[in-house]
Structure formats: structure tokens, C-alpha cells
Structure 1
Amino acid sequence: MIQEEVLIDSGERTVRTGPVRVVPGLAVTALAIAVAAAVNRLLPAVSALIIALALGVLLANSPWNRPALHPGTRLASRRLLRAGVVLLGLQLSIVDLARLGGPVLVVVVATVGATFAFTWWAGVRMGVGEGQSLLVAAGFAVCGASAVAAMDRVADNDDEDVAAAVALVTIFGTVCIVALPLLREPLGLAAVAYGQWVGVSVHEVAQVVAAAAPAGPAAGTAALVVKLTRVAMLAPLVAGTSLLLRRRRRTHGATARRHEHVVPLFVIGFLAMAALRSAGVVPTEVLNAARLVSMLLLTAALFGLGTGVKFGNLRAAAPISLALGAVSTTFAAVVGLVGILLVT
């Protein structure tokens, strides 16, 4: 017998009945993935994740946003997201971390932790709201849109908060692509040091590649290794935040959300995949396939999240959110630069 589940989302009553109901939404999601991949091929500096989110927002605010699509896009924004984050763990290896050396690793960890804490704190003080501040903190401190989406599964924010945070990642990551290469010579940074600074300061992987490219291959390699080290901190940050929010709910007498785990299961899966990669038991072909599948799943998830966003709900918070993005980007760049200069 097919079970029926009633979902209440943004004041709209949506009915989902069985697996067949997700087909229209997943079909549109697949089309969005194809479009995002094609645009990314033409404009490599623009992440497919960002393009997919934009497509989702456009659909949400168009006449073609039919209720029949919602079960599939909701599935993409939840289950496919978690699967994509789990597979993301296969990109990480202890060998990559060892290449950095102790001092640089300390700089990366300190910069990520400080940026995350400062952005969360500053956003609340500026009136952005704790939920969106937490998402911006994750996106700017760790790995852009993927971190925003992963943290959303813990903080349980509105889709508008997610879209705003990802939009800030796009805006200020693009600013970094232009600004950081211009600052290299005045700061007197060698190629490797510059690459490390880019890796510790810029948000999305594609943005890191674009910002490091003008300094040559050595800078590009250094930037990617540092960036992947930041990605490795996604799991402890999400797990730690989950524990903190869970404890806060108990302190204030709130009931834990249904099916809430102390440490989200997708975080455990992420760590398990990273352990497999570090053990050297996963063939190169499987790693390459997993990288592609992870990107497809995360692209689908960002499209799904975008379909829950209405333009009208984004306008009021735009100026103060932009201010938070500017403050956070500047903080990460300055702290990262000071740290790199101290250890090189």
C-alpha cells in the first residue's frame, strides 16, 4: 500500500504519495544539472553549484513552478545532498594534509575556526539572524555552497537563508578572483605562499582555481591542497555545531527535532569515506567516478534548495547580508595572510 505524507512548507500544503510522485521534480532537476554543467564548461570560473541554485530560484519565481515538482525537488535538496556530502569525503586524504607541514596546517585550521566563529558572532550582532549567520560562517570558512547546504541540514533554516548565503559566496568569491591576484605583487608573495593564501581565503573550489591561476602551476597546486584541507574541516564543524545546537535546545527546554542524531549520519559517512581514501584501498577509477557523482548530487541539491526561494523574501535582508559577507571575507583574507606570512 502506498503511504501518504503531508508536508507543510512555507505555508503551502504539499502532498507526497509514493515514489512515482518524485519523478517530475527529479526530471526537472536532471535537466537543471545538464544546463549547469554546460554553462560551467563555457565559464569554468562559475561553479555548477551556483548555476544550479540560480536555476532553482528562477524556477521558484516563475509560472512553471507547479506543486507536482515539489516532491522531487525536495528529495534532491535533502537526501541527494547528504549522499553528495558523503562522497565528498573520498576527495580527502591524510597524505594531502601531510604535504602541508605542521605550521601551514595550523594556519589553515586556525583561520577556518576563527572565520567560522567570528562570522557567526558578527552576523548575530549585525542583525542578520543566527540561522543565516551560521550558514554564511560555514560557507565562507570551509567550502562555499557545499558547506552552506551541509550546515543547513543541522541548523534547519529557511530556503531563503540558504540562497542568500550561497549568493554571498558567489559575490565575494568573485571579488577575490579579481582582487587577490592584484594584491600579490604589492604584498611580495612568492607563488607557493600566494597559492596557500588563496586556498585559505577563497570560498569555492572553482574560485580558488581561478584566483590562483595567474601565479602559475605551483600556486595552483598549493591552493588546492590547502582548500581540500579546509574541506576536511566540514565534518568536525558540522558535528560540533550539531552538538552545540542540541545542547542549547535542551537548555531552553525545546524538544529535539524528529530523527535528530547527536552527530548527523552524513557526517559519519563523510569521515568513513575519507578514511577509505586515506587507507589507499579505493581504485583511482572509483575515486574519479565518485568525484563526478558527488558533484552531480550536490548540483542537484542546490537546485532543489533554490526551488524553495522567493525573491520577495530576499530583498529586506540584502544590504546587511552584503555587509556581513564583506566583513567575513576581509577577516578570512587578513587572518590567512598573517598566518601564511608568519610560517613562510
Structure 2
Amino acid sequence: MPDPVTAPRPARLPPWWPGAVLVGAATVAALTAGAALPLLPASTAAVVLGAVLGSTGLHRPAFRPATAFASRRLLRAAVVLLGLQVPLAQVLGLGAAGAVLVLGTVAVTFAGTLLLGRLLRVRRERTLLVATGFSICGASAIAAVRPATDADEDDTTTAIALVTLCGTLAIGLLPLLRGPLGLDVQGFGAWAGASVHDVGQAVAVGDLVTGALATVVAVKLARVLLLAPLVLLVGLSRRRRARAGGRAHRPALLPLFVVGFVAAVALRATGVLPGELLTGVARVQDVLLVAALFGLGTGIDVPRLVRTDRRSLALGLAAWLLVAGVALAGVRLLGL
């Protein structure tokens, strides 16, 4: 018989393995659903799957280490890689009218949502995340701006839930409104790109109107390009408040992963990266974002949100109407 003292002990699996398996399975399921159902982007499917677990009590403690890692680390990596999907030449090709549309829509939506949040008496930090998500690029923007705020996990998951809900509604509604609004393909593409929150949701809308996708993507990526400047402005505002409050701590103006996003945009602009590599990186970014959004979705408790946070729901719907209305007005005024 082997000496019990010297006998090898059976290898133990790391404590995070159940959650890693869950995140992997949910990511595959969301990507599969997104590929099979044009009206359901994988990012939306991931949030829905996570919210099902979070709302039904199935998000067990054994899963939390891996879902927390996905919602933080993987989301930040996805934001960095998002920078490689922003072609500066294509964005600059929108011209002066396109730039005015994007800048005006982002500025009015951001400032207007902050005002609406104050009127509805929604927590300032939560309102800030909602304003960022609706004006820039959904969950990626929320993740980027959160380190520059005092927002907590509940603020983050609520903001993610709201942009997911309204972005999903936009996929079904915007193409139906094209005819009644009298928008041609170009005008519809500019409107959708300037008003739909998440990149995946914007692509889904563009796919539903023949010929609109290129314009949707160009305008949408122009909004994404404003991510770093907005985070910088939020960081500066937080520093001013810290000084006014006599606090010695000086928050970072730009989180490191947002600096990585800027570097990725600059690297893409050099033209040194081959198209095949960019395509592969885009696929990796999709997978990381879907996994991260599933992790974030597990923090969403839909019954509690509906029961106790109707003001946040009202803020999300109002911000959605605001961005859609401002973008439509911009398209009309600029003749796009």
C-alpha cells in the first residue's frame, strides 16, 4: 500500500471553474442566438441570459468569481479592442454635416439626460452612466466612464439593463418608422447611427434596411470616437469636485484601458495592420464583449428593478426618446 504521507493528492480544480464553464457556455449560446436571429444581437442575448440567472436566483456564489472577472476584466479588454474597429478615414469621410450631427446628438443627449435625471431624482452617478451609455455606445461607454465616477455595481447593471432594453426596442421600431418619417436610405442610416446605443444593435438595425448599413456603421463609429474625450471630461469634473471637497485623492483622468482604446484607434489609423488581423481581432472583441455582458447581466434583478426603481426606468425611456428625437432633428436640419 502507498504511504499515506507520500501518496500524491488528487488535483483540485480551481474554485472559479464552475463560473468559467457557465460564462463559456452562455457566451456560445448568445453568439449562436445572434447568428441565427437577425433581430437579436449576441450582446443583447448575453445580457438577457445573465438577467435570467440574476432574476431567478440561479446565479450561485460558486459562479460569482468568474462572472465578476468577465464583467470587469473582459469588458475592459473589449473596450481596448473596440478601438481597432474605428477607421478614422471612414469617420472623417462623413464631412462637416456628419460631424455636426454626431457632436450635436452626443452633447444634447448627454446634457439632457443629466437634466432629466435631476428632475426625476435619480442618483447622480447612475444618471451619469445612463447619459454616457445612451449618448456614446452602450455598455462599452458605461464600462469606460465608471472608473471616473463613484458609481457602484447596482448603478452599472441598471444602466446596462436600460441601454439593452431600449436598444432592443430600437431594432424593431426604427425600420418601421422609416416610411412614416419619409427618410431615404441615407437619411435613415444617419438617424440610426446617431441614435442607436450599442454597436451590435446599430448593425442589426442597418441590416434591416437595404443599403443603409455602411452609413449606420460610419456614423455610429464616429460616436464611439468620442468615448475618450467624454471620459476625460468626466474625470476632470470629478477632480474639481474632489478639490472642492478638500479630498487629497486625485482620480485618474483616463483609466488605463481607455488610454489603450485611444492607442488602438491610433494604431488602426497607421494602416500597418492587415485586414485579416483586424477581422480576427473584431471577432475576439465580439466574444469578449458578449462574455462580459453576460457577467454584467447576472447582476440584473428585473423584478426588483421594476418594483423599486421606476424612476430609473423612466429615465432610460426618456433618454432613448431624447437621443432619437435629437438625431432625427439633426438629419432633417442638415439635409442628410
| TM-score (norm: length of structure 2) | 0.87
Q: In structure 2, what is the equivalent of residue 111 of structure 1?
A: 105
Unpaired runs of 5+ residues, structure 2, are: 1-12
- After superposing the two structures, state which structure 1 stretch, 36-45 or 223-232, moved more: 36-45
> Does residue 273 of structure 2 align to residue 279 of structure 1?
no
Q: Tell me: CA distance 1:185–1:87, structure 2 relative to 1, closer, same or farther (3 Å).
A: same
Query: Which residue identity is paired with 2:129?
Result: L
Q: 2:161·2:300 contact (CA, 8 Å) conserved in 1? A: no
Q: How does 1:252-331 map to 2 (within 5 A)?
A: 252-254=245-247, 256=249, 260-311=251-302, 313-331=304-322
- After superposing the two structures, state which structure 1 stretch, 59-68 or 31-40, moved more: 59-68
Give the counterpart of 2:233 among 240, 263, 268.
240
C-alpha separation in 2, matches of 1:68 and 1:301: 17
- Structure 1 residue 76 displacement after superposition: 1.5
1:143 aligns to what SS in structure 2? Answer: coil
Query: Which residue identity is paired with 1:30?
Result: G
> Does residue 205 of structure 2 align to residue 211 of structure 1?
yes
C-alpha separation in 2, matches of 1:21 and 1:262: 35
Cα shift readout 1:71-105 (whole Å, capped 9, x = no counterpart)? 22222121211111001000012101122011211
Cα shift readout 1:276-313 (whole Å, capped 9, x = no counterpart)? 10110111121111111112112222222233344564
Query: Which residue identity is paired with 2:182?
Result: G
C-alpha separation in 1, matches of 2:59 and 2:301: 11
Give the counterpart of 1:91 among 85, 90, 94.
85
Query: Which residue identity is paired with 1:130?
Result: R
Query: Which residue identity is paired with 2:36?
Result: L
Q: In structure 1, what is the equivalent of residue 5 of structure 2?
A: none
Query: Which residue identity is paired with 2:316?
Result: G
> Does residue 259 of structure 2 align to residue 249 of structure 1?
no
Query: Which residue identity is paired with 1:250?
Result: R
Q: In structure 2, what is the equivalent of residue 28 of structure 1?
A: 22
Q: Tell me: CA distance 1:343–1:159, structure 2 relative to 1, closer, same or farther (3 Å).
A: same
Q: 2:74·2:289 contact (CA, 8 Å) conserved in 1? A: yes
C-alpha separation in 2, matches of 1:310 and 1:255: 36
Say how many residue pairs are matched.
Answer: 323
C-alpha separation in 2, matches of 1:155 and 1:138: 12
Cα shift readout 1:93-118 (whole Å, capped 9, x = no counterpart)? 21011220112112111111211121
Q: Tell me: CA distance 1:174–1:55, structure 2 relative to 1, closer, same or farther (3 Å).
A: closer
2:246 aligns to what SS in structure 1? Answer: coil
C-alpha separation in 2, matches of 1:122 and 1:255: 31
2:93 aligns to what SS in structure 1? Answer: helix
- Structure 1 residue 171 displacement after superposition: 2.5
Q: 1:239·1:264 contact (CA, 8 Å) conserved in 2? A: no
Higher alpha-carbon Rg:
2
Q: In structure 2, what is the equivalent of residue 81 of structure 1?
A: 75
2:122 aligns to what SS in structure 1? Answer: coil
2:273 aligns to what SS in structure 1? Answer: coil
| TM-score (norm: length of structure 1) | 0.86
Give the counterpart of 2:32 among 20, 35, 38.
38
> Does residue 171 of structure 2 align to residue 177 of structure 1?
yes
Q: In structure 1, what is the equivalent of residue 6 of structure 2?
A: none
- After superposing the two structures, state which structure 1 stretch, 112-121 or 244-253, moved more: 244-253
Q: Tell me: CA distance 1:109–1:321, structure 2 relative to 1, closer, same or farther (3 Å).
A: same
Q: 1:148·1:166 contact (CA, 8 Å) conserved in 2? A: yes
- Structure 1 residue 70 displacement after superposition: 2.2
Q: Tell me: CA distance 1:322–1:65, structure 2 relative to 1, closer, same or farther (3 Å).
A: closer
Q: Tell me: CA distance 1:62–1:187, structure 2 relative to 1, closer, same or farther (3 Å).
A: closer
Identity of aligned residues (%): 44
C-alpha separation in 2, matches of 1:294 and 1:213: 20
Q: In structure 1, what is the equivalent of residue 96 of structure 2?
A: 102
C-alpha separation in 1, matches of 2:297 and 2:175: 31
Q: 2:27·2:290 contact (CA, 8 Å) conserved in 1? A: yes
Aligned-residue Cα RMSD (Å) equals 2.3
Q: 1:235·1:267 contact (CA, 8 Å) conserved in 2? A: yes
Query: Which residue identity is paired with 2:287?
Result: L
- After superposing the two structures, state which structure 1 stretch, 274-283 or 111-120, moved more: 111-120
C-alpha separation in 1, matches of 2:324 and 2:286: 27
C-alpha separation in 2, matches of 1:304 and 1:153: 18
Cα shift readout 1:182-204 (whole Å, capped 9, x = no counterpart)? 33233332211121011101122
Q: 1:59·1:307 contact (CA, 8 Å) conserved in 2? A: yes
Q: 1:239·1:267 contact (CA, 8 Å) conserved in 2? A: no
Q: In structure 1, what is the equivalent of residue 8 of structure 2?
A: none
